[in-house]
Structure 1
Amino acid sequence: MAGSMGKDGSGGKRTARPDAQPAPARSPYGPRMLGALLPAITRPAFKTRSPAATQLMTDWPSLVGPSLAARIHPKRLSGGTLFLSASGPTALELQHQAAQLIARINIGLGRQVVERLRFTQDGLPAPGAPDAPPAPIPAPVPVPGVEGALGEALARLGGRIAARGRSGGA
């Protein structure tokens, strides 16, 4: 029995001494775990928008359905509060259905992300409302001595500049 004991009396198993040198550090140019690299790569992107907010913004039509997605738009997610923009009647209607909308969004995201809704009314066009008519194209102003495609482009540019000057716009 006495022969099986090690020099330190531990039964042959040697333990690391507290004053032992740590293993040498890995070279920064050698293989590294992907998990060690991701925080440095994703930190700048997540400073501006959280992953949950990004998923919410990109999946918005599938989370709330196409009819609601056409009437309300997510602006930002901050501290569990989802800020939405909607027209007046839509915002009022959805304030009464906030609990159902929050549940629908959280179920779609697979976790509790949204706790409250805040609506801002911003005169979104009503569904099916005609768009504003396009601005009329100003008459081209010919540039003497320049012909071809360049002359045509400069003439169109000159017409737009002249129209802006007449309307007083910037």
Structure 2
Amino acid sequence: MRRPRAPSPVPLADLIGGLMDPILRRKAGMTSGLVTAWSEIAGPRLQDMTRPEKLVWPARRPDADAFEPATLVVACEAAAALRLQHQTSELIARVNAFFGFAAVERIKIVQKAVRQARPNRRPKLRELGPGDYSRIDDMVARIEDPKLRDALRAFAETTIRRNDG
């Protein structure tokens, strides 16, 4: 008799994509795939300064039988707007290659802040007292090489400043 197999692990990105795709499709008319692949689509010069906002599909007209491509709304930092404007045809080609068909016909540029402020993650350093300096001098007193001694002294000062003791 065979044991039942345990389910194989699923990458978290696949799970989140499955959850987010219906929301993005409803709210922005696109999938999470475009958002996650944006850095590759936009390229190194635009990836940090632009972000796809939504796909605006034209309203279906009863007399039109043909498919009409969408307009991709791209949020862009003011500093990169001119560059994005010059590269729109290339960007449209890359987005269409990503989708596998001519899904986008135009790009609408919306200037807004794209970069998020990064939090300051540097540890707070405390001031060293006279007892700390004498403790550090005792630690490095037997080191003969002056460059090594100075480097170890600086390392010890920083370590003690980061830690509370």
Q: Please report the TM-score for the alignment, with normalisation by the length of structure 2.
A: 0.44
The higher-RCO structure (CA 8 Å, 6+ apart) is 2
The structure having more radius of gyration, on CA atoms, is: 1
